[in-house]
Amino acid sequence: MQVSQESAGSALPLLYQELAAEYDLTETHYTFGGQSFTFLSVLDSYALLDRISPEEFVKDEQMPYWAEIWPSAITLSSFIADELQLEGHRVVEIGAGIGMASIVAAWKGATALATDYSLEALRFIRYNGLKNRATLSCERLDWRLVQCREQFDLLFAADVLYERVNLLPIVTAIDKLLAPGGVAYIADPRRRMAEQFLELAAENNFTISSIPKKYSGGAMPIAVNIHKMSRR
């Protein structure tokens, strides 16, 4: 799905009406790299738990993590805006949620593909792309079975290392999606699960260096590591 600015004027109100009919919404404003952004998200992600049927949970154990704006996503977006040169690069985000990092990457000049397993998330990515006048694509992607044949210069992910069962599939997905010489940046709030993920990545021929950051936008500062991964 291509998020194009050509129809933004007419599509935005309609998209908002459709989302507002299904969710309690909130808009949050951020500044990255001196640029103002506005992101639409769900007011209370816990309210979405009632939308998951027992059958869907047994099949995927899918939780509405996509609906949160996590400190790691904000930290990664700030890092992208301030420290990366993306003009002319092809980038992909996995577990994109509402699309924050992908939208900032597109603003920085990247050709961006935002992906998430949740079809609900893709609707918010589309809206937020149009709202922030970012041209990007969005697609469903299951990191357990990556069918995307394209490879990318850079890969982004924020707060995806929360369940042990997903660690090796994420390593495998990164390996499939990165072009030769490509680099992945994985932001995580220093969860214990991240240590296991880094061990798996090292066992699968990745070199890792970690960049310590701090999110200060909440009541308490949160330490966030951005793990830079490249193949040996």
Tokens of residue 15, six digits? 């998209």
What does the block give as tokens for 133?
């006048």
> pLDDT tens for residues 5-17?
555 667 899 999 9
- Angle, vertex CA 12, rays to CA 129 and CA 121, nearest 5: 50
CA distance linking residue 68 with residue 118, whole number of Å:
13
Can you give the pTM of this predicted structure?
0.92
Give the Cα separation of 90 and 106 in Å (integer). 10
CA-to-CA distance for 200 and 206, rounded, in angstroms? 9
Q: What is the pLDDT of residues 82-134, one digit of tens each?
A: 999 999 999 999 999 999 999 999 999 999 999 999 999 999 999 999 999 99
Residue 148: DSSP 8-state: -
Helices (H), 29-137: 54-60, 71-83, 100-107, 119-131
What pLDDT shows up at residue 103?
Answer: 98
Pairing mode of beta strands 178-188, 90-93:
unpaired
Q: What structural domains and CATH numbers belong to the chain?
A: 2-231 (3.40.50.150)
Confidence of residue 58 (pLDDT cuts 50, 70, 90): very low
Give tens-digit pLDDT for 35-57: 999 999 998 766 676 665 555 54
Which tokens sit at 89? Answer: 């690069």
Q: Give percent above pLDDT 90 in the chain.
A: 79
- The rounded distance, in Å, linking the Cα atoms of 103 and 208 is 25
Question: How far apart, in Å, are the Cα atoms of 169 and each of 123, 142, 146, 161, 172?
Answer: 25, 9, 9, 11, 5
